[in-house]
Chains A and B, each alone.
Chain A
Amino acid sequence: MIGRVAGALVAVVTLALPAVLADSALAVYILLGLAAMVTVGVSLLMGYAGQVSLGQGAFYAIGAYTAALLALHGVPPVIGLVAAPVAAAGFALVIGVPLLRLRGHHLAFATLAMQLILLSLAGQLEFTGGDIGLQAIPQFSAGSFEAGSALAYAYLTWAGLALVMLVTRNVIRSRPGRALRALATSETAAASSGIPVGRYKLVVFALSAAFAGLAGGIYCFYTGYVAPGSFPVLISIQYIVMAVVGGLGTIWGAVAGAAAITLLVQGLNSLAALPGMPSYAPGVLSYAVYALVLVLVVLFLPRGLLPAVTGRLRRDRPPVETR
């Protein structure tokens, strides 16, 4: 009941916000939604299925480049937006076969390397526009609707986020979802319950890549250009920080983490841009803050922001039974 009311409240606020936000705040709102979309995938992959990826930014980039290239070649943007998650998931399926044989930090480093290789390829190849990237990407449109304003992109982004959250929730509370959560604890015991562990890891890797790809697709239409510089390695680390800060293995935690970090970074950026600040202030502030936030959360809120808050709520209720 409380969950329903809270959910309805969040939905109303989410829908009302774009209409009242100023343009600069609306841009933050869109980027927040896109980051949340990727982070939900990270939470699914890391929090539920126990696999680490430091390369989610690569799938974000694949989605963005796919949608951009298709749109620039005259393909309708709707098809480009559908192709973005499909291409990211397809790439994840291919690269996941060798990568997912690795575990823990080996897997993390391998996915990080994957992103570095892809970025350097995108910076070299002609059809991706090299370091300059792809520009003049047409606006997103579907039939007679054309997304000409930031407001339209805000709704598109948050509709995408709602879809991603719904799919994740449905998967988690189901036969394949329980299988993923089981293999996170023990692949041996999961396999002995008849779960094809390798195949399931591959599918969840592809699913999280699809979420990142969808976010990338929306991003390219919104900004109108993509370049390797839009997808630094730091972005992949940022998604993990968001997932951990919000609370791994909770869907709403991913959104809360994305919101907390995005707003924090925005605040620091405006702080660093104040007159009298040294030129290195933005870089130092953002890197230092990622590190500091991560350390503080791991030390004091090991389960993340959201579980810490809801856990407190639950503890405040009278005990139903004691034994």
Chain B
Amino acid sequence: MLELSGVSRSFGGVYAVRDVSLTVADGEVCGVIGPNGAGKSTLFNLITGHLPADHGRISFLGQRVDRLAPHRRAGLGMSIVFQAARVFRGMTVRENVMVGMHGRTGAGFVSAALRLPRHRRDEREITAETDAVLGRVGLAEWADRPAELLPIGQQRALQLARALCARPRLLLLDEPASGLRGQERERLAALVEELRADGLTILLIEHDVAFVTRLADRVVVLDLGRVIADGPPAEVRSDPLVLAAYLGQPS
């Protein structure tokens, strides 16, 4: 589904991501882990299109996407949950989630201004889908509150709801567990497990090794911008190279 080959990106002569190749297969949950500064965030931004790659190619669903703008990649079926709280301020929780339906509907300024049938049809569809997804992530009772007032755990759930509204082929999660406390983290993990059971393809970039090894079918380990291990969680966890990179010492 997603294929990176020989992807590199440097900042001021220092490689943040160097010659990374990885594939995410259909229906797979792929985890990317690595210590701080390993290049996880850069890799994420290269895939989503918020950073252009210096070298290499990125294909999604058999199509080259490395020159496409972020909104075009979203249109092909990539949905993102950002690490930083990217809830839209001044909008309710429901309105925030409604934005996720943007790519699946088409009513423009003219339809909206004149309240044409196209607008009404879209609004009906958007409302129905949004309510369903809000219920699924457990935000139904928060729907009419200002989104920026939600606690961080719920903001993460909101972003997930927005991403799901787009009916993605590939869901990209950037450090979804960061900043969450035990119970919030558990709830999120349960939700991701549910999505995996539905057959959704997920790329999970995460600092927390326990979180990733619980959820991922396969784990890719980055260190200093390079892939140092790639395999099932149990195998990767006992890889001496990974232990050295992660713990700073062989154990």
CA distance A189 to B162 in the complex (A): 10
Cβ-defined contact, A194 with B86, below 8 A = no
Interface check A249, CB cutoff 8 A: yes
Query: Which residues of B lie under 8 Å from residue A190 when comparing CB positions?
Result: 88, 99
B212 interface residue, CB < 8 Å from A? no
- Name B126's closest neighbour in chain A (CB-CB): A175
Query: B100 on the interface (CB 8 Å rule)?
Result: yes
Chain B CB count within 10 A is highest, among A179, A182, A197, A249, for A182
Q: How far is the CA of A175 from the CA of B108 in the complex (A)?
A: 7
Question: Is B131 located at the chain interface by the 8 A CB criterion?
Answer: no
Is there a chain A Cβ closer than 8 Å to B69's Cβ? yes
Contact (Cβ within 8 A) A249 B112? no
Which residues of the other chain, A, contact B105 by a CB distance below 8 angstroms? Answer: 175
Choose one: A176, A189, A194, A249; the contact of B108 (CB below 8 Å).
Answer: A176
CB pair A167–B86 under 8 Å, yes or no, is no
Given A179-B99, A191-B70, A191-B74, CB of A185 within 8 Å of CB of B88: yes
With both beta carbons as reference points, the residue of chain A lying nearest to B148 in the complex is identified as: A185
Could you tell me if B71 and A192 are in contact, using CB atoms closer than 8 angstroms?
A: yes
Report whether over half of chain A's contact residues are helix, strand or loop; otherwise say mixed. Answer: helix
Q: Does the CB pair A186–B88 fall under 8 Å?
A: yes
Among the listed B100, B112, B114, B122, which residue makes an inter-chain contact with A193, where contact means beta carbons less than 8 Å apart?
A: B100
Q: Which residues of B (39-81) have their CB < 8 Å from a CB of A?
A: 48, 50, 69-71, 74-75, 78-80
Q: Is A311 an interface residue (CB 8 A)?
A: no
B136 at the interface (CB under 8 A from A): no
Residues 165-215 of A contacting B (Cβ, < 8 Å)? 167, 170-171, 174-179, 181-182, 184-186, 188-197, 203, 207
| Contact present for B112 and A174 (CB under 8 Å) | yes
Interface positions of B from 82 to 122, Cβ below 8 Å from A: 82, 86-91, 95-96, 98-103, 105, 107-109, 111-115, 119, 122
CB contacts under 8 Å to A, within B149-180, are 162, 166
Q: Which residues of A contact B87 (CB under 8 A)?
A: 185
- Which residues of the partner chain B approach A167 to less than 8 Å between Cβ atoms? 113
Chain A residues, Cβ within 8 Å of B71: 191-197
Q: Is B123 an interface residue (CB 8 A)?
A: yes
How many chain A residues touch B (Cβ–Cβ < 8 Å)? 27
Set A186, A194, A207: member contacting B102, Cβ < 8 A: A194
Nearest chain-A residue to B77 (Cβ)?
Answer: A194
Do the beta carbons of B123 and A186 come within 8 Å of each other?
Answer: no
Distance of A203 Cα from B108 Cα, bound (Å) = 10
B107 pairs with A176, CB closer than 8 A = yes
Q: B102 contacts which chain A residues (CB < 8 A)?
A: 175, 178-179, 193-195
Bound CA–CA A182/B80 (angstroms): 15
Taking a contact as CB atoms under 8 Å apart, the answer to whether A175 and B166 are in contact is no
**A181 near B90 (CB under 8 angstroms)?**
yes
Instruction: Find chain A residues with CB under 8 A from B115 CB.
Output: 170
Q: How far is the CA of A203 from the CA of B90 in the complex (A)?
A: 21
How far, in whole Å, are A135 and B96 apart by their CA atoms in the complex?
Answer: 51
Separation of A184 and B86 alpha carbons in the complex (Å): 11
Bound Cα distance A188, B159 (Å): 13
Q: Which residues of the partner chain A approach B101 to less than 8 Å between Cβ atoms?
A: 175
* A171 engages B109 (CB within 8 Å): yes
Report how far A217 CA is from B162 CA in the complex, Å.
42
User: B108 contacts which chain A residues (CB < 8 A)?
Assistant: 175-176
Report Cα–Cα, A174/B70, bound state, in Å: 23
Interchain CA distance A196-B91 in the complex, whole Å: 19
Which residues on the A side are within 8 Å of B112 (C-beta)?
A: 170-171, 174-177
Bound-state CA distance A195–B162 (Å) is 13
B70 to chain A, nearest CB (A): 4
- Decide if A188 touches B109 in the complex (CB within 8 Å): no
B80 near A178 with CB under 8 A, answer no
In the complex, the chain A residue whose C-beta lies closest to that of B45 is: A188
Q: In the complex, what residues of B have CB within 8 A of residue A179's CB? A: 99, 102
Contact of A195 among B78, B91, B99, B114 (CB under 8 A): B99
Contacts of A186 in B (CB 8 A): 86, 88
A301 vs chain B, min Cβ distance (A): 17
B90 touches A185 (CB 8 A): yes
User: Which residues of B sit under 8 angstroms from A193, Cβ to Cβ?
Assistant: 71, 74, 99-100, 102-103, 162, 166
Establish whether residues B100 and A178, one from each chain, have CB atoms under 8 Å apart when the complex forms: no
A sample of 13 cross-chain residue pairs with beta-carbon separation below 8 angstroms, ordered by A number, consists of A170-B113, A170-B115, A175-B105, A175-B126, A182-B88, A188-B86, A189-B82, A189-B88, A191-B70, A194-B103, A194-B166, A195-B102, A196-B69
Residues of B within 8 A of A (CB): 48, 50, 69-71, 74-75, 78-80, 82, 86-91, 95-96, 98-103, 105, 107-109, 111-115, 119, 122-123, 126, 162, 166
Interface contacts beyond A185-B90, A191-B50, A195-B102: sample of 11 additional A-B pairs, CB < 8 Å, sorted by A: A176-B108, A176-B112, A178-B91, A179-B102, A182-B91, A182-B96, A184-B88, A185-B87, A188-B50, A189-B80, A193-B102
Q: Which residues of A contact B (CB under 8 A)?
A: 167, 170-171, 174-179, 181-182, 184-186, 188-197, 203, 207, 249
